[in-house]
Amino acid sequence: MDKLDYRLFIPYLFWRFINAKGLLCQKIIGIYYRSNIKPNMVLRLIKMSIDNINSYWLGMVGKKYVVTGAGSGIGYAIAEALLEAGACVAMLDRNIGGAEKLREQYRGTAQEPLVLQCDISDPSSIEKAFQNVRETLICLDGLVNCAGMLRAASIRDVALSEWDAVLRTNLTGYMLCSREFATLMSNGGSMVHIASVAAHHPQTHSGAYSASKAGITLLSRQIAAEYGPGGIRSNVICPGMIRTALSEPFYQQPGIKEQREAMTASRRIGAPQDIANAVAFMLSERACYINGAELTVDGGMETMLMDLIPRPGFSAKKSA
């Protein structure tokens, strides 16, 4: 090379360290130096090689998954990540508007997602979605339970109807989806259930939600114990503070973003893609010996608990 170009840094690393894909990156470098191709075209070729490597590493090309709550937020990001990894996805949600936008991006391709309206608090709605998935995809490699509901109220004040509604969606719905879609995993598979750090800590005005998320963690372990011998894994992801359209109004309040960032070791609020990345790994064969586990994805928020205790002479100190 007669000069050092930052645009070649990424493909050079892949060429050096990933033998299986090094040839492709080497070709990209050669194309760049033998022609007058514009830098943006070279970067597109690099991105193609990176996507190819990601798909190869996760081993998801051609795999089939169901994602509930896939119309927005974390569920949407999960479905998007799985599609980018080469998988086929059935997107279930009560509101399918968001899912339709993602389907448009893949319309006419072999990966065009199956979009189904489904309310997981309603057993008949789950059964209808199950029939559609079975007829279209035939079999499954995994399920992501992500649909959820939050009703803010204290234990003292929560109406029984509200309590029941939260548990029907966040817990009973997860159980029903797991039981139904497991029947399509005849060759084994993986389930990932989205809980919350609220499963680990009580929070005032969040009684039903916290209880339902704690229930998910034990439900997942129960599934792992019962379905594990048949080759089906079950794990939980516990997100911390994730910025979505649902939580966006909080961040419009002055100072809230900065206060929340200070509560995490990573000093930032999470994005839906942070959870999607963890889910993709847990679904993949790279996590084939992880079963009945919980993975907290919170930027180190729980790690900072002791820092919330006032300590004279220490609390005012700021790290560089």
Instruction: Judge whether 111 and 88 are in contact, CB under 8 Å.
Output: yes
**Amino acid at position 94, single letter:** R
User: Cα separation of 214 and 212, whole Å?
Assistant: 5
CA distances in angstroms from 64 to 188, 290, 312, listed in the order given: 12, 20, 55
Q: Could you confirm whether 12 is annotated as catalytic?
A: no
Look at residue 186 and give its three-state secondary structure.
coil
**Amino acid at position 273, single letter:** Q
**Amino acid at position 154, single letter:** S
User: Cα separation of 254 and 211, whole Å?
Assistant: 30
DSSP characters over 102-160 = HHHHHTTSTTPPEEEE--TTSHHHHHHHHHHHHHHHSS-SEEEE-------B-TTT--H
User: Cα separation of 94 and 120, whole Å?
Assistant: 8
Provide the strand spans (E) within 138-289.
Answer: 142-145, 189-194, 232-239
Terminal-to-terminal C-alpha distance of the chain: 39
- Given 32, 65, 76, 209, which residue is catalytic? 209
- DSSP bridge pairs for 144: 67, 192
Query: Which are the catalytic amino acids?
Result: 209
